[in-house]
Amino acid sequence: MPSTNDIDRSQEALNVAKRYLRRERPLSALVVVLAVSVFHGTYLATSLLPAVVVAAILLIAARAPVLQSRGTIRLQTDDDLGTVVDEFTGPTPPVLALQWGVANEVTTEDNMAIYPISYLFGLRSVEVAVDTHTDTTSSGGYLVESEVTVNDQPWATYTSTINSTNEQTIIAVEYTSNRRFGLRRIPQELLAKRYRDNVLTAQGYTVVERDAHFGL
């Protein structure tokens, strides 16, 4: 299937994602600066060999895959069931707005949504891909599963159960990371926590409840 370019994105969600990005990039740089400062301080206080040992320990601790994120989100909206299902099965699902919101563009290829994201002033980039599958439930609702990969490696799974009441549409989302991360991701996770609800609100969803875990 040929790719489709220039997919429209919610401007309100983009505004929130851009605010997140303006804070996330300096924070990531600060983590690197702190690590270098510890190395330099150890070198000045002792000698090169202890500093190298400290640097090795910091590198292992920062990158060792020991942490995993998981959680649940309960959302509601005044939009009808069909509209919500279209949004969650489309190339820009609301729960992934911080991903597609910071992407260079959003395209589709072979029924998958593709988000190329560049960083370090364009020197490095990653490609986020979202493969979505839909099924119906016994209650007349919909089950939407989004498998997310980064550079063809498993990243996370989002399972959204969508049901309609007389007045509102209710969405129960369960997510889990399919890979573990190092301690260097903790500052990013703490920062993202501040913006996840905001970016959903910007898209017309009310966050009724969120239960997030980030640990071993």
Domains and CATH numbers, the chain: 12-215 (3.30.530.20)
Dihedral of CA atoms 128, 71, 77, 114 in degrees, nearest 10, equals 10
DSSP for 118-158, written as a single string: EETTTTEEEEEEEEEEEEE-TTS-EEEEEEEEETTEEEEEE
Query: pLDDT by residue (tens digit) across 22-74?
Result: 877 665 655 666 666 776 777 778 877 777 777 777 666 666 666 788 899 99
Enter the pTM of the model. Answer: 0.80
Beta bridge partners of 119: 124
Q: Could you give the angle at which helices 186-201 and 11-45 cross, rounded to 10 degrees?
A: 170
Cβ distance 129 to 106 under 8 Å? no
Q: Kindly state the average pLDDT of the residues 198-205.
A: 95
Q: What is the pLDDT of residue 107?
A: 94
pLDDT over 50 (residue 85): yes
3-class state of residue 64 by DSSP: coil
Report the relative pairing of strands 112-119 and 124-136 from DSSP bridges.
antiparallel
Q: What is the pLDDT of residue 62?
A: 60
Q: Which residue has the higher pLDDT, 165 or 29?
A: 165
Provide, rounded to the nearest whole percent, the portion of the chain with pLDDT above 70.
Answer: 79
Query: pLDDT by residue (tens digit) across 176-190?
Result: 988 877 666 677 777
Residue recorded with tokens 């597609």: 100
The half-sphere exposure of 140 on its side-chain side, counting CA atoms within 13 A, is 5
Six-digit token string for 104: 């260079």
Output DSSP code: residue 185: G
Q: Could you tell me which of 148, 157, 5, 168 has the C-alpha nearest to residue 79?
A: 168
How far is the CA of 204 from the CAs of 34, 144, 191, in angstroms?
39, 19, 22
